[in-house]
Chains A and B, each alone.
Chain A
Amino acid sequence: DAGVTQSPTHLIKTRGQHVTLRCSPISGHKSVSWYQQVLGQGPQFIFQYYEKEERGRGNFPDRFSARQFPNYSSELNVNALLLGDSALYLCASSLGNEQFFGPGTRLTVL
């Protein structure tokens, strides 16, 4: 059974560009959450989606947006990239109270 998958695995962008990160949850999981993990720190919550609706939003600027599709996969979009957006972006899917994480997308902004 496939776990949470994310694409791409690595990405290099320049300041001002935008990026779209993708996540496919575990089959049967209806909730997807996005986290940003800067090197040396714990993950910071960005968004949670459940049944295509936003259920939670962390303290991130409006440059960050996300959506969930009918098949429960999700996209995270970041506009006007800044150097400080360089991080590992983690997606987690959940059915109940356990969150299972994908391997992450490593974004580098130059």
Chain B
Amino acid sequence: GEDVEQSLFLSVREGDSSVINCTYTDSSSTYLYWYKQEPGAGLQLLTYIFSNMDMKQDQRLTVLLNKKDKHLSLRIADTQTGDSAIYFCAEIYHAGNNRKLIWGLGTSLAVNP
């Protein structure tokens, strides 16, 4: 089956760290992605991780992958008001020659000054 689940809301104080969690079902996923969507805007690729990695760091962003539990997290250090957005987790789902991205519902991050 294809399913990606995320918590829907997260509220943090400016300067704190944010941790957004995601679980997925397709154990054959090779890549897992985090996208950011600001109100009225398209989707911005933030970062992605290959399934043979367990951690990837990119400036303020840290991605952790627990392949055994099919759990992915995105940590944003020193969260700023400009980080307020919806964050989507997505996995690549393989079915024969077809590949498609399966998305979670998104986590709405609110950053309070």
Chain B residues in the interface with A (C-beta under 8 A)? 4, 30-31, 33, 35, 41-45, 48, 88, 90, 92, 95, 97-106
Contact = CB atoms under 8 A, between A and B. Distances in A.
Contacts of B104: 42
Contacts of A103: 41-42
A35 B35 CA distance: 14
Interface residues of A, number: 23
Interface of A: 33, 35, 40-45, 48, 55-58, 90, 92, 97-104
Nearest to B2: A45
Given A41-B105, A42-B104, A97 B48 contact: yes
A100 B45 CA distance: 7
Contacts of B48: 97-98
B42 A98 contact: no
Nearest to A55: B98
B102 to A, nearest CB: 7
Nearest to B31: A97
A2 to B, nearest CB: 14
Contacts of B45: 98-101
B38 to A, nearest CB: 11
A56 B103 contact: no
A43 B43 contact: yes
Nearest to B93: A45
Given A42-B103, A42-B105, A43-B103, A55 B42 contact: no
B41 A99 contact: no
A33 B101 contact: yes
Contacts of B105: 40-42
